[in-house]
C-alpha cells in the first residue's frame, strides 16, 4: 500500500508538471462544454433572407411582415427580378429567397391557391432544411389565422410536443456527448500516452526489474486518471446544471456509477493501446484516429445512428461511447433508472472486461 | 553449492523463433566480483542479462541469481538485485530528491530509511545544490552517477549495469568506475556489460560473447597472455576475426 501511494504521488507529479497534460485534463472539458453550449447550436436565429415579391399586394405584405417579425429571420434585401437570385446566393450572405408569384393575393381569393417559392442555399444542407421548415411553419400559421372563421369538413391538426427537451435546446444533446468525448480522451488517450512514455524513457524497464508486479505498475499508472476523470465528469455535470440549466432528472448516484464504468472501459482501451504502441506519438495517433473520431462520428453524439448506412450502424455497436451516450441521455434528460439502461450497462461492462482481458494478455510481463 | 557464488549459469539458451540469441552459455560469478560481460552489438549480451534479471524467460538451461532460480523465483531475484540501464532511466520531471524517494519506495524501504539514504546519497554525490532541481536539468554524467546510486538504494547483492557509460566523457567514466570499485569493495557484486575495451581492463574477470556464445572467460591479464596480445581490445579483435 505504501508503495502504491508513492507510485501514485509520482504519477501526480508527472501530470501537474506537464502543462500539456494539465490543459487537456482541465482546460479541454471546460472549453469544450462552453463551446458546444454557447457557440455551436442547431437552432437558427437571425438568418439573412431576401424577398422577391412579384405581386406586392396586401397579402404578401402581411406575410413578409410576419416573417420579419419572427426573430429567426432578418430580411436584408428586397430584389426585383428573378435573375438577381443567383447572384445574391453567390455573395453568400443571404441563405434563402422567398419568391411570391404574380398576383399572389388575387389568386388566393379567386383560385383558392397561390404559390410562394422558398429557395434555400443548400451548401449547408442541415441549415437549408431547417430554414425551409421554419418558413413553412410561419406560412401555415398565417393560413390558420386567415381561415379562422372557415370550417372545413374535416381537418387533421398535428399537435407536436417536444418531450424531454421542450425548447429544443442543442445543449441537451451536447452535454452527454461532450462528457463522453472528454472521459474517453482523458481516460484512454492520457493513460496510453503516460504508459508509453515510461517505455520510451526506459523507466518501464526499471519498474519491471523492481519488485513491483506488472499489474501494480499499471494500476498505479491508471489510478490518478480514474480520479481525475471522475472530477471531470463532475465539473461537466455541474456546468451543465448551473450554466446551461440542463436538468439531471435521474439519480446522480446512478450517473456516477455509469460514468465510472465508462471510465474503466476507456482506461482498459488506453492500456490496450499502450501495449501495442512503442512511442507516445503512436499512442496518441491511435487514440485520436482509432478512438476519438469514431467516438465523435459514430456514437450518435452529433449524427443520428438511425440515419447512417447499415454497415456504419453495425460498426457503431462496438463503440463504447454509443452505449454510454444512450445511458447518460436517459438518466439526465428522461430520468430513467437502471432498469431501463440495463442492456447498455451490461454491454459496457462486457466491453470493459474484454478490453481488460485483452490488455492483460497483450501486456508483456517479460520485456522482449 | 558454494555460498560465494552469487550467479551460477549453465547451458542458458534463448531462442527467438529459429534464431538463437544466446547459445548455451555457462559461467559463475563470485561475491564482490566485478564481472565484465563483453560482446559486440547483437552478440546477445543484453538478452542474456534480461534472463538473469527476470524479465525474459530462458528457452532452456539453468541459472541461479543470488541463490534464486530464474524460472520460478524471479520475484525474489528482483528484490535482491539492482539494475541500471543504458538510458540512466530516472524521471526527468521529478527532482533529485523525489527520484530517490520514489525508487526507495518501490523497493519497500521505510520512510526513515529512505530519508537516511537520500541524505547520504546526496552528500556522497555532492548534489546538495541541485537536490531540489528537476533531473532534466542535470548534466549527463551526474544523471549517470545518480542512476547508479539509485540502483543501489536497497543494498542489493548484485547490481546489473547495462552499458552504463554510453555517451559519457572519459573523465566521468573514470569517476564512475571509482564508484563501481567502491560498491564492489563493500561486497556488492557487479555485473557490467560494455563495449569499451579499456573498461574491460578494470574488471576482475571478463567474458566475451560472440554470436550468442561465450568464447573467452578469464581475468584480463590471463586473456591477454592466452591470446598473446597487449590489450583487451586486441583480444576482442582476435576473437572476432577467428570466428569469421
Q: Which residues of A touch B83 (CB under 8 A)?
A: 205-206, 209
Mean pLDDT over residues B132-158, rounded? 92
Beta-carbon separation of A13 and B98 below 8 A:
yes
Measured between CA atoms, the residue of chain A closest to residue B101 is A6
**pLDDT score of A219 more than 80:** yes
Beta-carbon separation of A202 and B89 below 8 A:
yes
Helix axes A252-276, A342-362, angle to 10 degrees: 30
Between CA B176 and CA B180, with CA B179 as vertex, the angle to 5 degrees is 90
B243 pLDDT band (50/70/90 cuts)? low
In 10 A of CB A306, how many CB atoms? 7
Beta-carbon separation of A17 and B106 below 8 A:
no
**pLDDT score of A213 more than 90:** no
pTM of the prediction?
Answer: 0.79
B29, three cell numbers: 560469478
Whole-angstrom Cα distance, residue B101 to residue A83?
Answer: 80
**pLDDT score of A154 more than 80:** no
- Whether chain B has a CB inside 8 Å of the CB on A14: the answer is yes
Q: Which residues of A touch B105 (CB under 8 A)?
A: 2-3, 6-7
Measured between CA atoms, the residue of chain A closest to residue B90 is A203
* Contact by Cβ (8 Å): A186, A24: yes
CB pairs under 8 A between A and B: 76
**pLDDT score of B241 more than 80:** no
Q: Which of A54-63, A148-157, B4-13, B58-67 has the lowest mean pLDDT?
A: A148-157
- Residues 6 or more apart whose Cβ sits within 8 Å of residue A147: none
Beta-carbon separation of A205 and B89 below 8 A:
yes
Mean pLDDT over residues B73-87, rounded? 91
* Contact by Cβ (8 Å): B36, B235: no
A234: closest CA of chain B, how far (Å): 29
First to last CA, chain A: 29
Among A9, A18, A366, the residue with its CB nearest the CB of B56 is: A366
Give the pLDDT of residue A368: 42
Give the pLDDT of residue A354: 94
- Residues 6 or more apart whose Cβ sits within 8 Å of residue A29: A178, A182, A232, A235, A236
Beta-carbon separation of B89 and A206 below 8 A:
yes
Whole-number mean pLDDT of chain A?
Answer: 86
For A95-139, write each residue's pLDDT tens digit.
999 999 888 888 888 888 888 899 998 888 878 888 888 888 888
**pLDDT score of B81 more than 80:** yes
Among B55, B83, B102, the residue with its CB nearest the CB of A366 is: B55
Residues 193-222 of A with CB under 8 A from B: 201-203, 205-213
B244, three cell numbers: 569469421
Of B167 and A298, more confident: A298
**pLDDT score of B228 more than 60:** yes
Beta-carbon separation of A209 and B83 below 8 A:
yes
Mean pLDDT over residues B164-178, rounded? 88
Beta-carbon separation of A10 and B98 below 8 A:
yes
A85, three cell numbers: 437570385
Tell me the DSSP string of B20-64: EEEEEEEEEEETT-EEEEEE-TTSSHHHHHHHHTTSS--SEEEEE
Q: Which of A194, A205, A219, A280 to mutate to test the interface with B (most CBs of B within 10 A)?
A: A205
Amino acid at each position: 500500500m505504501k508503495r502504491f501511494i508513492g507510485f501514485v504521488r509520482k504519477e501526480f507529479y508527472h501530470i501537474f508538471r506537464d502543462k500539456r497534460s494539465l490543459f487537456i485534463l482541465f482546460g479541454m472539458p471546460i472549453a469544450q462544454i462552453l463551446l458546444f453550449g454557447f457557440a455551436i447550436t442547431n437552432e437558427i436565429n437571425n438568418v439573412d433572407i431576401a424577398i422577391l415579391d412579384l405581386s406586392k399586394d396586401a397579402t404578401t405584405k402581411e406575410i413578409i411582415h410576419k416573417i420579419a417579425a419572427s426573430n429567426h429571420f432578418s430580411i436584408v434585401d428586397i430584389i426585383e427580378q428573378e435573375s438577381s437570385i443567383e447572384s445574391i446566393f453567390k455573395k453568400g450572405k443571404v441563405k434563402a429567397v422567398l419568391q411570391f408569384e404574380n398576383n399572389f393575393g388575387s389568386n388566393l381569393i379567386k383560385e383558392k391557391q397561390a404559390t410562394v417559392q422558398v429557395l434555400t442555399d443548400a451548401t449547408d444542407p442541415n441549415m437549408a432544411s431547417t430554414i425551409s421548415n421554419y418558413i413553412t411553419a410561419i406560412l401555415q400559421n398565417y393560413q390558420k389565422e386567415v381561415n379562422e372563421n372557415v370550417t372545413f369538413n374535416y381537418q387533421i391538426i398535428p399537435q407536436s410536443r417536444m418531450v424531454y427537451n421542450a425548447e429544443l435546446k442543442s445543449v441537451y444533446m451536447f452535454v452527454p456527448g461532450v462528457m463522453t468525448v472528454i472521459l474517453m480522451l482523458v481516460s484512454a488517450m492520457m493513460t496510453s500516452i503516460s504508459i508509453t512514455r515510461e517505455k520510451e524513457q526506459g523507466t518501464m524497464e526499471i519498474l519491471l526489474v523492481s519488485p513491483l508486479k506488472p499489474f501494480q505498475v499499471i494500476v498505479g499508472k491508471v489510478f490518478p486518471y480514474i480520479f481525475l476523470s471522475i472530477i471531470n465528469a463532475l465539473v461537466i455535470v455541474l456546468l451543465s446544471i448551473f450554466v446551461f440549466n440542463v436538468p439531471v432528472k435521474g439519480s446522480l448516484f446512478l450517473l456516477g456509477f455509469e460514468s465510472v464504468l465508462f471510465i474503466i472501459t476507456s482506461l482498459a482501451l488506453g492500456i490496450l493501446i499502450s501495449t501495442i504502441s512503442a512511442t507516445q506519438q503512436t499512442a496518441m495517433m491511435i487514440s485520436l484516429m482509432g478512438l476519438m473520431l469514431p467516438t465523435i462520428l459514430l456514437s450518435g453524439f452529433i449524427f443520428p445512428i438511425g440515419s447512417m448506412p447499415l454497415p456504419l450502424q453495425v460498426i457503431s455497436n462496438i463503440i463504447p461511447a454509443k452505449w454510454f451516450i444512450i445511458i447518460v441521455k436517459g438518466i439526465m434528460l428522461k430520468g430513467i433508472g437502471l432498469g431501463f439502461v440495463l442492456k447498455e450497462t451490461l454491454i459496457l461492462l462486457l466491453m470493459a472486461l474484454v478490453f481488460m482481458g485483452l490488455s492483460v494478455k497483450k501486456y508483456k510481463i517479460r520485456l522482449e | 553449492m558454494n555460498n560465494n557464488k552469487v550467479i551460477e549459469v549453465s547451458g542458458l539458451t534463448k531462442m527467438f523463433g529459429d534464431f538463437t540469441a544466446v547459445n548455451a552459455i555457462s559461467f559463475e560469478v563470485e561475491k564482490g566480483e566485478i564481472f565484465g560481460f563483453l560482446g559486440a552489438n547483437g552478440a546477445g549480451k543484453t538478452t542474456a542479462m534480461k534472463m538473469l534479471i527476470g524479465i525474459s524467460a530462458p528457452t532452456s538451461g539453468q541459472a541461479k541469481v543470488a541463490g534464486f532460480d530464474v524460472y520460478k523465483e524471479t520475484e525474489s531475484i528482483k528484490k535482491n538485485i539492482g539494475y541500471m540501464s543504458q538510458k540512466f532511466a530516472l524521471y526527468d520531471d521529478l527532482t533529485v530528491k523525489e527520484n530517490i524517494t520514489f525508487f526507495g519506495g518501490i523497493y519497500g524501504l521505510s520512510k526513515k530509511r529512505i530519508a537516511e539514504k537520500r541524505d547520504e546519497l546526496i552528500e556522497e554525490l555532492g548534489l546538495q545544490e541541485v537536490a531540489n532541481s528537476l533531473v532534466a536539468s542535470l548534466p549527463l554524467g551526474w544523471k549517470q552517477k545518480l542512476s547508479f546510486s539509485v540502483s543501489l538504494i536497497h543494498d542489493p547483492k548484485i547490481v546489473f549495469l547495462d552499458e552504463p557509460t554510453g555517451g559519457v566523457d572519459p573523465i566521468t567514466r573514470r569517476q564512475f568506475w571509482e564508484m563501481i570499485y567502491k560498491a564492489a569493495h563493500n561486497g556488492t557484486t557487479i555485473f557490467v556489460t560494455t563495449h569499451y575495451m579499456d573498461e574491460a581492463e578494470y574488471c576482475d574477470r571478463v567474458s566475451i560473447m560472440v554470436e550468442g556464445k561465450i568464447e573467452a572467460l578469464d581475468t584480463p591479464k590471463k586473456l591477454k597472455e592466452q591470446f598473446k596480445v597487449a590489450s583487451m581490445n586486441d583480444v576482442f579483435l582476435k576473437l572476432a576475426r577467428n570466428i569469421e
